[in-house]
Structure 1
Amino acid sequence: MELNELVELNVGSPQFRIKNSVITTDPEYKFYSQNDLEEDLAGMKLFDEQPKLIRTSDNVTTLAEKDVVFSLISGKAAIVSPLHSGYLYTQNYIVIRTGEEVDDKFLVYLLNEDKQIARQLWLSLQGSSVLKYTVKQLRELKIAELPPIDKQKIIGDVYMKQCHLQALQERKARNETLLRLTRLGEAY
């Protein structure tokens, strides 16, 4: 079966059509970025950058906590954390709404790690001059028969914990390197 038979896909607002407003009573939004997606996948703050802001009266698409978001740029998926709830997402991102047949965390695991899905996405990019995925490619992904929902939940939970653990280990390694380099500098 195809992914679009299991989920609903919602494309973000076209960024070039959003008009900036100078009226201070208009809402201000933070743009969702690739770094935000990486943080959501890791389950922790990774970057110290300030998000890009826009004030607009336009009707825009925003993220909600626990939304599954897929980047058409990187081909990665994550679940939106409370930190990024309310962020404006552009046409570079797709929000995927699952039904009762698919666990959100399991879907993130499938999109990020399943070799058959990765192969389909890679093959669909062949011949492209710009390496960017499309909604059509995502919609038409062939999905193998899914395990029962209770098994999906276990796999999804373990995957998300593994992503968090990996981010912690990488942070620890960076900090240890920084500490050693600082001590070398002091010894010099």
Structure 2
Amino acid sequence: MKITDLVTLTAGSPQFRIKESTLQEASIYKFYSQTDLESDLTGIKTEEQESKRIKTLDKVTTLNNGDIIFSLISGSASIVNQNHEGYLFTQNYVLLDTNENIDPGFLVYLLNEDRLIERQFRMGLQGSMVLKYTVKQLRELKLPNLPAIEKQHIIGSIYLKQLRLQALHERRARNEMTLRLSKLQGAYHA
């Protein structure tokens, strides 16, 4: 079964076509970035960096809490959290709107971890100098046989919780290292 049997794909707004405006009635949008995607995937806010913004009257594609977003740059997917609601997503991202036959967390798991899907992406990148995924590649993905929706939900939920736990462990290890190095500096200069 192809991914398009279960998912509707919406490409992001072409960034170079968005016209900036100085008019007061123009809306201001923040751009969704790879850092935002990684933050959504782990559920942990990364170091606060100022998001790129644009003020425009153009109709643009924006994100909602719970949307599934796929990065054509990294080839990874995530579920958008409320911190990134209303963010504008560019042509480097694709919004995946699922039907009731596939769990959003399970779809993120498949796109990020499934070997069959990884192999299909790799075959599409063979001979390519620029490692960027395409909407066409995504549209033509063949999915493995799917378990029952209840099992999908369990797998997706465990996967997302495991990513969060791993990120928390990594953050703790970095903080412990920083603390130890600080103590060493203090001991050295004492």
Contact 1:73-1:92 at 8 Å conserved across structures:
yes
Residues 104-144 of structure 1: CA deviation (Å, up to 9, x unaligned): 00000000000110111011101112110000100111111
Give, as a single letter, the amino acid of the residue that structure 1 aligns with 2:34. Answer: Q
Q: How does 1:7-86 map to 2 (within 5 A)?
A: 7-86=7-86
The worse-fitting range, judged by mean Cα deviation, of 52-61 and 125-134 is: 125-134
Give, as a single letter, the amino acid of the residue that structure 1 aligns with 2:137. Answer: Q
Give, as a single letter, the amino acid of the residue that structure 1 aligns with 2:158. Answer: V
The aligned counterpart of 1:129 is 129
Root-mean-square deviation (CA), in Å? Answer: 0.6
1:141 aligns with 2:141: yes
Aligned residues: 188
Give, as a single letter, the amino acid of the residue that structure 2 aligns with 1:47. Answer: E
Give, as a single letter, the amino acid of the residue that structure 2 aligns with 1:70. Answer: F
The aligned counterpart of 1:175 is 175
CA distance, structure 2, for counterparts of residue 25 and residue 5 of structure 1: 40
Structure 1 residue 25, shift from structure 2 partner: 2.4
CA distance, structure 2, for counterparts of residue 71 and residue 100 of structure 1: 23
CA distance, structure 2, for counterparts of residue 24 and residue 168 of structure 1: 42
Over 4 Å off, 4+ runs: none
Structure 1 residue 47, shift from structure 2 partner: 2.5
Structure 2: unaligned runs, 5 residues or longer: none
Contact 1:35-1:47 at 8 Å conserved across structures:
no
1:109 aligns with 2:109: yes
Structure 1: unaligned runs, 5 residues or longer: none
What percentage of residue pairs aligned between the two structures are identical? 59
Residue 180 of structure 1 aligns to a residue in which SS? helix
Structure 1 residue 48, shift from structure 2 partner: 1.9
